[in-house]
Amino acid sequence: MKHITSLTIGILFGIALSKALATDYNTIIDMFLFRNFHLYGVIATAIVTVSIGVYIFKKILLKDVDGKLIEYPTKPAKKGLVIGSALFGIGWALTGTCPGTAFTQLGEGKLTALFTLIGILIGSVAHSYYATKANIPVDDTCG
């Protein structure tokens, strides 16, 4: 049942991304060129919504499906995180997509999103390989 719920929420999220034009290449490029500020409003709305949600979850001591208290660890700015963030932004600007929109773009029939997904996969494997070689624990949490 939880998979059906997750799938339904994912589909609704994809529809919201599509309706907000967050999957439109020209809208994304115009955002990066400061010609269209629509997506900045979408992003700001998402940040405010998540911030309110996290605040509420912390107040009610929300637990995960296994009954464990959900934690919200902070990440210090490290060299690798800054470099990775810059690479993420460059990739987003070049491809007109990010991991959050790539699957929605595929659902819309935009096959160019496959290249983004391949890049995400290669980057993830490279990070895992580098972290293992450098004896750095691979962080499997989001954020």
Position 139 pLDDT exceeds 70 = no
* Model pLDDT, residue 142: 45
Coil/strand/helix, residue 78 = coil
- Residue range 79-128, pLDDT digits in tens: 878 888 888 888 888 888 888 889 999 999 998 899 889 988 998 898 88
pLDDT at residue 112 in the model: 87
Closest C-alpha among 80, 78, 76 to residue 128: 80
Of all residues in the chain, what percent carry a pLDDT higher than 90?
38
Whether the model clears a pTM of 0.75, i.e. scores above it, the answer is no
